[in-house]
Amino acid sequence: MVRRKLMGRLAPYLLVLPGWLWLVIFFVIPVIAMLSLSTQTGDLIDGFTQTFHWQNYLDGWNEYHVEFIRSVIYGAIATILCIVIGYPVAYWIAFRGGHRKSSLLFLLLLPFFVSFVIRVVSWQFMLADNGIILEPLKAIHLLPADFHILATATAVVGGLTYNFVPFMILPIYVALERIHPEVMEAAGDLYATRRAAFRRVVLPLSMPGVFAGVLLTFVPAAADYVNASILGGTDQTMIGNVIETEYFTNTNYPMASALSFILMAALLIGVFIYAKVLGTREVLDMAVA
């Protein structure tokens, strides 16, 4: 009896146990290991020893704050572009897609069945100084001969936007799709023009989707290194590239770990403030007022 009761009480916890194990093995343990690594000193040959050298963090910030700030700016611009491009697309699919909605969503995701790196490389190929786009334009003197896109901030931000825009479109689509058609009709019935109906009803109701989309695009975009390394030049280095170099080229594991932690902490704090300040409920109230 008692055993049965105990099992009954424990059952919910036992059920989530695999999830917790997963989290501990693949997230908590690596994070602790990395945290420990970030304050060690030494090198790959002689080995690293734990010396609680917190100085790594300060050195990391002092040396690479430009890349940090650049990452945040690129990430932010890419996120804004994703909203500007993604919202109308999501709107169009949700309200004008008719019975083709699911095919349209599939088409949207189709390029993403191709490897991330291949996609970025194909952009590199297309945007090359003498590539299939720029060369003809230069040949007819529409562009100066030394014009280039690769190795500019435009190329990197463009790449980020391209790669993360589906993560903006999908949550906005879901939010829009959930709006009952009669709710929009009601707005029209109550003398709202199309503009007013959008501003007062559709937009506020889709904001949760936009918030989710911002999280899903900004975090990976700010931490990305593939776009900057393939489409960018030396002036477009992002913090992801620095971490990669510290880790693989310089084998300075403590520094790489410290930088990763600074990035993680910065993003977490950012997300936390964002959620606190723009909590769904409050934003909705703001939109209505």
Query: Where do contacts with other proteins occur on this chain (CB under 8 A)?
Result: 180, 182-183, 185-193, 196, 200-201, 204-205, 284, 287-288
Contacts of 98 (CB under 8 A, 6+ apart): none
Q: Say if residues 34 and 261 touch (Cβ distance below 8 Å).
A: yes
Tell me the closest approach of the beta carbon of residue 183 to other proteins, in angstroms: 5
The CA distance from 242 to 226, in Å, is 12
Q: Say if residues 225 and 256 touch (Cβ distance below 8 Å).
A: no
Tell me the closest approach of the beta carbon of residue 189 to other proteins, in angstroms: 5
Nearer to other proteins, 15 or 289 (CB): 289
Fill in the amino acid letter for 149.
Answer: I
Nearer to other proteins, 177 or 244 (CB): 177
CB burial class (10 A; 0-12, 13-18, 19+) of residue 222?
Answer: buried
- 141's torsion region: left (phi>0), alpha (psi -120 to 50) or beta? left
The CA distance from 146 to 143, in Å, is 8
Nearer to other proteins, 96 or 194 (CB): 194
Tell me the closest approach of the beta carbon of residue 197 to other proteins, in angstroms: 9
The two structure tokens encoding residue 203: 């937009």
Nearer to other proteins, 104 or 283 (CB): 283
Q: How far apart are the first and last CA of the chain?
A: 58
The CA distance from 8 to 16, in Å, is 14
Nearer to other proteins, 197 or 262 (CB): 197
Tell me the closest approach of the beta carbon of residue 186 to other proteins, in angstroms: 4
The two structure tokens encoding residue 76: 């932010």
Tell me the closest approach of the beta carbon of residue 51 to other proteins, in angstroms: 54
Tell me the closest approach of the beta carbon of residue 286 to other proteins, in angstroms: 11
CB burial class (10 A; 0-12, 13-18, 19+) of residue 44?
Answer: exposed
Nearer to other proteins, 174 or 192 (CB): 192
Nearer to other proteins, 187 or 221 (CB): 187
Tell me the closest approach of the beta carbon of residue 289 to other proteins, in angstroms: 9
